[in-house]
Chains A and B, each alone.
Chain A
Amino acid sequence: MTRLFQSNDQTLRRMCYLTIKEMANISEDVIIVTSSLTKDMTGKEDVYRGPAIRALCRITDTTMLQAIERYMKQAIVDKVPSVSSSALVSSLHMVKMSYDVVKRWVNEAQEAASSDNIMVQYHALGLLYHLRKNDRLAVTKMLNKFTKSGLKSPFAYCMLIRIASKLLDETEGGHDSPLFDFIESCLRNKNEMVVYEAASAIVHMPNCTARELAPAVSVLQLFCSSPKAALRYAAVRTLNKVAMKHPSAVTACNLDLENLITDSNRSIATLAITTLLKTGSESSVDRLMKQISSFVSEISDEFKVVVVQAISALCQKYPRKHSVMMNFLSNMLRDDGGFEYKRAIVDCIISIIEENPESKETGLAHLCEFIEDCEHTVLATKILHLLGKEGPRTPQPSKYIRFIFNRVVLESEAVRAAAVSALAKFGAQNDDLLPSVLVLMQRCMMDSDDEVRDRATFYMNVLQQKQKALNAAYIFNGLSVSIPGLEKSLHQYTLEPSEKPFDMKSVPLATTPITEPKTEIAPVATSKLPEKLARSRQDIYQEQLAAIPEFQSLGPLFKSSEPVQLTEAETEYVVRCVKHTFARHMVFQFDCTNTLNDQLLQKVVVQMEPSEAYEVIHYIPAPSLPYSQPGSCYSLVRLPDDDPTAVSCTFSCTMKYLVRDCDPNTGEPDDDGYDDEYVLEDLEVTVADHIQKILKPNFGAAWDEVGDEFEKEETFALASVRTLDEAVGNIISFLGMQPCERSDKVPENKNSHVLFLAGVFRGGHDVLVRARLALADGVTMQVTVRSSEETVVDVILASVG
Chain B
Amino acid sequence: KEHLILRKGTEPSLYTVKAVLILDNDGDRLYAKYYDDTYPTVKEQKAFEKNIFNKTHRTDSEIALLEGLTVVYKSNIDLFFYVIGSSHENELMLMAVLNCLFDSLSQMLRKNVERRALLENMEGLFLAVDEIVDGGVILESDPQQVVHRVALRGDDVPLTEQTVTQVLQSAKEQIKWSLLR
Interface residues of B in 126-170 (CB under 8 A from A): 126-127, 130-131, 134-135, 137-141, 145, 149-153, 157-158, 160, 164, 167-168
Closest to B61 in A: A265
Do A517 and B171 form a contact, CB below 8 Å, given A193-B90, A300-B66? Answer: no
Chain A CB within 8 A of B120 CB: no
Contact size range, B: 35 or more
Chain B CB within 8 A of A505 CB: no
Write the A1-36 contact mask toward B (1 if CB under 8 angstroms, else 0): 111100001111011101100010001010011000
CB-CB under 8 A from A163, the residues of chain B are: 12
Interface residues of B in 95-146 (CB under 8 A from A): 95-96, 123, 126-127, 130-131, 134-135, 137-141, 145
Closest to B178 in A: A32
Do A230 and B90 form a contact, CB below 8 Å, given A15-B164, A51-B130? Answer: no
Do A244 and B6 form a contact, CB below 8 Å, given A16-B171, A23-B175, A266-B59? Answer: yes
CB-CB under 8 A from A92, the residues of chain B are: 14, 137
A126-B14 in contact (CB<8A):
yes
CB-CB under 8 A from A126, the residues of chain B are: 13-14, 137
B68-A233 in contact (CB<8A):
no
Option from A47, A169, A519, A524 in Cβ contact (under 8 Å) with B5? A519
CB-CB under 8 A from B93, the residues of chain A are: 155, 158, 193
Docked pose: A438 CA to B171 CA in angstroms: 80
Do A89 and B68 form a contact, CB below 8 Å, given A23-B175, A47-B149, A158-B93? Answer: no
Do A10 and B67 form a contact, CB below 8 Å, given A1-B174, A244-B5? Answer: no
Count CB-based A-B contacts (< 8 Å). Answer: 197
Docked pose: A640 CA to B165 CA in angstroms: 87
Option from A27, A82, A517 in Cβ contact (under 8 Å) with B175? A27
CB-CB under 8 A from A19, the residues of chain B are: 168, 171-172
Docked pose: A326 CA to B175 CA in angstroms: 67
CB-CB under 8 A from B168, the residues of chain A are: 15, 19
Docked pose: A571 CA to B12 CA in angstroms: 33
Option from A27, A193, A520 in Cβ contact (under 8 Å) with B179? A27
Interface residues of B in 50-100 (CB under 8 A from A): 55, 59-69, 72, 87, 90-96
Docked pose: A23 CA to B150 CA in angstroms: 21
CB-CB under 8 A from B149, the residues of chain A are: 47, 50, 82
Closest to A200 in B: B90
B66-A230 in contact (CB<8A):
no
Closest to B158 in A: A9
Option from A11, A229, A524 in Cβ contact (under 8 Å) with B68? A524
Main secondary structure of the interface of A (DSSP, over half): helix
Q: How far is the CB of A194 from chain B (nearest CB, A)?
A: 9
Option from B12, B64, B90, B138 in Cβ contact (under 8 Å) with A196? B90
Docked pose: A738 CA to B48 CA in angstroms: 47
CB-CB under 8 A from A230, the residues of chain B are: 62-63, 72, 91-92, 94-95
Chain B CB within 8 A of A588 CB: no
A520-B5 in contact (CB<8A):
yes
Interface residues of B in 1-56 (CB under 8 A from A): 1-9, 11-14, 38, 55
A15-B123 in contact (CB<8A):
yes
Q: How far is the CB of A149 from chain B (nearest CB, A)?
A: 19
Do A519 and B61 form a contact, CB below 8 Å, given A85-B140, A245-B2? Answer: no
Q: Which of B95, B167, B168, B175 has the most CB of A within 10 A?
A: B175
Q: How far is the CB of A13 from chain B (nearest CB, A)?
A: 11
From A201-209, A701-709, A718-726, the one touching the partner chain is A201-209
Chain B CB within 8 A of A228 CB: yes
Option from A119, A155, A229 in Cβ contact (under 8 Å) with B62? A229
Q: How far is the CB of A142 from chain B (nearest CB, A)?
A: 12
A302-B66 in contact (CB<8A):
yes
Docked pose: A81 CA to B139 CA in angstroms: 11
Docked pose: A362 CA to B38 CA in angstroms: 43
Write the A514-555 contact mask toward B (1 if CB under 8 angstroms, else 0): 000111111111100000000000000000000000000000
CB-CB under 8 A from B13, the residues of chain A are: 126, 130
Docked pose: A200 CA to B151 CA in angstroms: 38
Chain B CB within 8 A of A433 CB: no
Contact size range, A: 35 or more
Chain B CB within 8 A of A264 CB: yes
CB-CB under 8 A from B60, the residues of chain A are: 264
Docked pose: A636 CA to B64 CA in angstroms: 61
Write the A676-716 contact mask toward B (1 if CB under 8 angstroms, else 0): 00000000000000000000000000000000000000000
A229-B61 in contact (CB<8A):
yes
Docked pose: A266 CA to B94 CA in angstroms: 20
Interface residues of A in 142-171 (CB under 8 A from B): 155, 158-159, 162-163, 165-166, 169
Chain B CB within 8 A of A197 CB: yes
CB-CB under 8 A from B131, the residues of chain A are: 82
Do A245 and B38 form a contact, CB below 8 Å, given A18-B127, A163-B12, A303-B65? Answer: no
B126-A15 in contact (CB<8A):
yes
Chain B CB within 8 A of A770 CB: no
B127-A14 in contact (CB<8A):
yes
Q: How far is the CB of B30 from chain A (nearest CB, A)?
A: 17
B167-A234 in contact (CB<8A):
no
Q: How far is the CB of B70 from chain A (nearest CB, A)?
A: 9
Closest to A119 in B: B140
Q: How far is the CB of A306 from chain B (nearest CB, A)?
A: 9
CB-CB under 8 A from B140, the residues of chain A are: 82, 85, 119
Chain B CB within 8 A of A123 CB: yes
CB-CB under 8 A from A192, the residues of chain B are: 92
Q: How far is the CB of B144 from chain A (nearest CB, A)?
A: 12
Do A18 and B126 form a contact, CB below 8 Å, given A204-B7, A234-B91, A267-B61? Answer: yes
Do A11 and B139 form a contact, CB below 8 Å, given A126-B14, A518-B5, A523-B65? Answer: no
Q: How far is the CB of B19 from chain A (nearest CB, A)?
A: 13
A4-B171 in contact (CB<8A):
yes
CB-CB under 8 A from B141, the residues of chain A are: 118-119, 155
CB-CB under 8 A from B172, the residues of chain A are: 19, 23
Docked pose: A47 CA to B134 CA in angstroms: 16
CB-CB under 8 A from B152, the residues of chain A are: 11
A155-B138 in contact (CB<8A):
yes
CB-CB under 8 A from B1, the residues of chain A are: 517
B63-A162 in contact (CB<8A):
no
Docked pose: A241 CA to B5 CA in angstroms: 9
A203-B6 in contact (CB<8A):
yes
Option from A3, A9, A228, A229 in Cβ contact (under 8 Å) with B160? A9
A10-B151 in contact (CB<8A):
yes
CB-CB under 8 A from B139, the residues of chain A are: 85-86, 89, 119
Closest to A33 in B: B175
Chain B CB within 8 A of A762 CB: no
CB-CB under 8 A from B145, the residues of chain A are: 81-82
Chain B CB within 8 A of A54 CB: yes
CB-CB under 8 A from A245, the residues of chain B are: 2, 6
Write the A71-104 contact mask toward B (1 if CB under 8 angstroms, else 0): 0000000000110011001101100000000000
A15-B127 in contact (CB<8A):
yes
Docked pose: A206 CA to B4 CA in angstroms: 8
Write the A645-670 contact mask toward B (1 if CB under 8 angstroms, else 0): 00000000000000000000000000
Docked pose: A265 CA to B62 CA in angstroms: 8
A29-B7 in contact (CB<8A):
no
Write the A110-133 contact mask toward B (1 if CB under 8 angstroms, else 0): 000000001100110010011001
Having A1-B171, A15-B126, one finds 20 other A-B pairs with CB under 8 Å, namely: A2-B178, A4-B171, A11-B157, A15-B123, A32-B179, A85-B139, A92-B14, A133-B11, A206-B2, A230-B63, A230-B94, A233-B63, A234-B90, A244-B5, A302-B67, A303-B65, A518-B5, A520-B5, A523-B65, A526-B67
Please list the 8 inter-chain residue pairs (A to B) with the smallest Cβ-Cβ separation, ordered nearest first: A206-B3, A265-B61, A162-B12, A525-B68, A126-B14, A193-B92, A229-B62, A234-B91
Q: List 18 A-B contacts (CB under 8 A).
A: A19-B168, A32-B179, A82-B131, A89-B135, A93-B135, A122-B14, A126-B137, A155-B138, A192-B92, A230-B62, A231-B91, A234-B90, A267-B63, A267-B64, A300-B65, A520-B5, A525-B38, A526-B68
